[in-house]
Structure 1
Amino acid sequence: MKRLFDLYPHRFTIFLISLLFVLFGTLLVPFDLFNTYVTPIFFVVNILAGTLLISKKKKLHGFFIALFVIIIVVVLFSSYVVTEEKVYRYIEFAILFSFYCFVTFEIIAQVWQSTKVNRGVILGLMCGYICIGLVGFFICMAVELLEPGSFSGLPAIDLNPESNRDGLIYYSFITLLTIGYGDINPVSDLARNASVLIGLLGQFYLVIVTAVVIEKYIRHSGKTE
């Protein structure tokens, strides 16, 4: 536990690096190899880094240690052992969805409550924005599971989360960044509402959270001068 606290000042750096590997690992490792064998490992590292974010909250220690163990078992089991049973994929999906929602909230809270802006806060700001994109992916995936075919342009339309994972991650971030290439489109009312929600979350984050950090940086710089 002491070693965990020693890493706490670097929590945003570790978490950001693990996020970047999860999102862009296919640029370094062949696509099929990465998705089949490497992605689960990086997800485990990312989850461990996310757990580090709340390591100083004593009331949550026991809960998150148990949650971390459950996530590791489910992710590794569903990725390397079970290939046909979709129930394990759904359990993995639900746990990861809950985890990233909480971690996103915790990152935003820590950035918001910071008294001065340093490199860690800037990295935390970046982590929060990327996490919103991941939460958006889980929202889109939930929509697709509830109403298959809600998004046109996906490589596969079925109930296997792995089939449409990359397409929906891409769609979530394209929507968050307000690029909107149009190669994947929401065709159901639920999917359209989810897309609007993702866009609003991104804009609220930039307008409110980023603005607060900039204001703190300007105020702190003024006092230093």
Structure 2
Amino acid sequence: MIEKIGNAIKDKNKSAVLLLLACFIFVFILPAIEFTSNMLSIFLFSLIIFLASYPISRKVMFIGFVVILIELATRATDFIYVQYLAQLTTNLFIIFLVGSVIRHMMNQKNISIYTLVKALNGYLLLGIMFMSLVAFCDLYMPGSFNSSGNSDMELVYYTLITLTTAGYGDITPQLPLAQSLAMLIAVTGQFYVAVVVAILVGKYASKN
């Protein structure tokens, strides 16, 4: 079983499917079941970083694990500003990673069904990136959103709804920085679907 998983990770197409599964569980299932332990979410997040970094380079993958380890290590300290810096570094790396994944995907000349899987991965990674930024904003700027704060699912829900521009209005940004972030999320979500996905689908259709 372990050997099969290892072979799947080495295959970039199969690793894209594994990344899709990990992102789906992390975004849609884990928050909904209100899992009480952080270990599973940390494991899934690390797995997502690994699977997303693997097609880019081993150097990027190594940097990703170092960033995660630094953030986990600083959580045990009482120096709040060190924790801020570590989490900010993590967010910056996620932004770099998502940009690299999308650029790597767009540069592919051979378009297959796996490329469309990677396009979906890119969209979910965008969601995860913005979830991290929204959570960072809500944690260190209390009152950024009018959510109750009793459930992580609220901010996950808010981020995905904003990314898709559905905007039901039950959770809204209250502070200027949170409002700017909401606009960025909405514009990025529209741009990704209208441009990135459209280009990939067009390339795929022209080959069939």
The match for 2:34 is: 31
Q: In structure 2, list runs of 5 or more residues that go unmatched.
A: 1-5
Shift of 1:122: 0.8
Q: CA deviation at 1:76?
A: 4.8
Q: 1:70 aligns with which of 66, 81, 84?
A: 66
Alignment of 1:102 with 2:96, yes or no, is: yes
Deviation at 1:95, TM superposition (A): 3.5
Does residue 161 of structure 2 align to residue 204 of structure 1? no
In the TM superposition, 1:3-18 aligns within 5 A as 6-18=10-22
Offset from partner CA, 1:117-152 (integer Å, 9 cap, x none): 212201110011111112222332343356321211
Structure 1, residues 2-58: CA drift from partner, whole Å, max 9, x if none?
A: 979833343322221221222234379x5243x422111111211211221213xxx
Identity of aligned residues (%): 23
> How many Å separate the matches in 1 of 2:96 and 2:152?
21
The 1:68/1:178 distance shift into structure 2, 3 A limit, reads closer
8 Å contact from structure 1 (residues 154, 184) kept in 2:
no
The yes-or-no answer on 1:120 pairing with 2:124 is: no
Aligned pair in 2 of structure 1 residues 63, 13: CA closer, same or farther (>3 Å)? closer
> What are the ranges of 5 or more consecutive residues in structure 1 without an aligned counterpart?
56-60, 157-163
For residue 142 of structure 2, give the secondary structure of its aligned residue in structure 1: coil
The answer for the alignment partner of 1:169 in structure 2 is: 156
**Greater helix share, structure number:** 1
Q: Which amino acid aligns with 2:46?
A: V
The TM-score, its normalising length taken from structure 1, stands at 0.75
Change (3 A) 1:216 1:46: same
Q: CA RMSD in A?
A: 3.0
1:140 to 125, 134, 155: 134
Question: In the aligned structure 2, how far is the partner of 1:212 from the partner of 1:191?
Answer: 31
Aligned letter for 1:19?
C
Provide the aligned length of Structure 1 versus Structure 2. Answer: 203
Instruction: Supply the AA of the counterpart residue of 1:155.
Output: G
Q: In structure 2, what residue type is equivalent to 1:40? A: I
Aligned-partner Cα distance in 1 for 2:71–2:88? 11
Amino acid of the structure 2 residue aligned with 1:6: K
